[in-house]
Amino acid sequence: MGSTIYVNGRITGESEAVVPVLDHGFLYGEGVYEVMRTYRRTPFLYGRHMARMRRSAAMIDLEVPFTDEYLLGEIGKTADRFYQGQGPEGDGVELYIRVLLTRGVGAITYDTRSCPAPTVVIIVKPQVDPPPEAYDEGVKVILVPIVRNHPGSVNPLIKSNNLLNNALAWQQARRQGGFEAIMRNYRGEISECSQSNLFVVKDGQAATPPLEAGLLAGITREFVFECGQSAGVPIREATLLDADLFDADELFLTSTTREIVPIVQVDDRKVGTGRPGPVTRTLLAEFRRRIPEGL
Ligand SMILES: Cc1ncc(COP(=O)(O)O)c(C=O)c1O
């Protein structure tokens, strides 16, 4: 099943979806994005994703040219077109929704005044969950030497289309057989993964690096804090070092498209028992129980 793509109001299949090369999103990576997914064909935590998109856009001085309600309508039209193209095969398919907002088309200059209108893209395709083994057996991750962007440079709080830092880290982890890459910040502390946030569990308590460590404020990360409260699992923010990973009872990663995935190996070292642990399982069960609240 291919993607259905909206570009400034025009909805087509993926081969016809194009953005001009003079778009500053293409020329300079100037733009922001969000990735959402549906459950029961409804975007999960939509309001939170849009609030983050507005924060990201404000951090690069980019105007968001739509209301949340308007964009939801445009996502709905794109999703309808996707499902129309599938027929009965589309039944039961949930969606991955990527919304991109770029500076738009302009002259070859960094002057934002040359770009009168931002470009809006919506990519809709089937949500592909991690394989069941990832949840049942856990995954291996690689602690990579590529340093997460310094917050004083391209701040990781901006969910930016400029993903070279993340892509290089992920590609390195992949070459070493990892499902994900863990990155440190410029101080050598653990920050996050290339496309997910990271939690450690020790003595029944979970911890994750603070935003100040230079990481994306994951929507799932935030929801997991709330799941910890309702499930009776204490979760806090804490500065984490390499030793905290190797000393942990459990580790897990979180993201919109993966929910909560247990990590059982970092590089060639086993985490805890080498099996997904009880705290991770409790939080995942609580997360899934609470999904209807976010629809
Ligand atoms: C760098 C990075 N960190 C964390 C996340 C997880 O964020 P969320 O839970 O909002 O999907 C992502 C998601 O794409 C990401 O790219």
Task: Provide the strand spans (E) within the chain.
Answer: 4-7, 10-13, 31-39, 42-43, 95-102, 119-126, 139-143, 180-184, 190-193, 197-202, 205-208, 235-237, 250-255, 259-266, 269-270
pLDDT, average across residues 48-60? 98
pLDDT bin (cut points 50, 70, 90) of residue 206 is very high
For residue 157, the one-letter residue type is L
Range with lowest mean pLDDT among 9-18, 82-91, 145-154, 279-288: 82-91
Report the separation in Å between the CA atom of 61 and the middle of ligand 1, taken as the mean of its atom positions: 21
Contact (Cβ atoms closer than 8 angstroms) between residue 161 and residue 29: yes
* pLDDT tens-digit map of 104-137: 999 999 999 999 999 999 999 999 999 999 999 9
- Residue with the bigger pLDDT between 242 and 88: it is 242
- Mutating to test ligand 1, I would choose from 99, 195, 198, 221 the residue with most ligand atoms within 8 A of its C-beta, which is 195
Angle between helices 219-231 and 46-59 (to 10 degrees): 140
Task: Give the pair of three-digit tokens for residue 189.
Answer: 């502390």
pLDDT of residue 23 exceeding 90: yes
Task: Give the pair of three-digit tokens for residue 273.
Answer: 């028992």
| Domains of the chain, earliest start first | 4-126 (3.30.470.10), 132-294 (3.20.10.10)
Report the separation in Å between the CA atom of 216 and the middle of ligand 1, taken as the mean of its atom positions: 6
Range with lowest mean pLDDT among 43-52, 85-94, 201-210: 85-94
- pLDDT > 90 in the chain, percent: 98
pLDDT of residue 1 exceeding 90: no
Q: What is the pTM of this model?
A: 0.98
**Measuring from each residue's beta carbon to the nearest atom of ligand 1, which residues come in under 6 Å?**
35, 166, 192, 195-197, 216, 218-221, 254-256
DSSP state of 23: B
Report the separation in Å between the CA atom of 165 and the middle of ligand 1, taken as the mean of its atom positions: 13
Active site residues: 159
- Nearest Cα residue to atom 1 of ligand 1: 195
Q: Counting atoms of ligand 1 from 1, which one is nearest the CA of 52?
A: 10
Task: Give the pair of three-digit tokens for residue 118.
Answer: 């931002």
pLDDT of residue 173 exceeding 90: yes
Report the separation in Å between the CA atom of 256 and the middle of ligand 1, taken as the mean of its atom positions: 7
Mean predicted lDDT score pLDDT of the chain: 98
Task: List the Cα angle 136/141/147 in 5-degree steps.
Answer: 150
pLDDT of 269 reads 98
CA-to-CA distance for 147 and 246, rounded, in angstroms?
A: 19
pLDDT bin (cut points 50, 70, 90) of residue 174 is very high
pLDDT of 89 reads 87
pLDDT of 168 reads 98
DSSP state of 176: T
pLDDT of 58 reads 98
* pLDDT tens-digit map of 212-263: 999 999 999 999 999 999 999 999 999 999 999 999 999 999 999 999 999 9
CA-to-CA distance for 295 and 290, rounded, in angstroms?
A: 10
Q: Counting atoms of ligand 1 from 1, which one is nearest the CA of 216?
A: 3
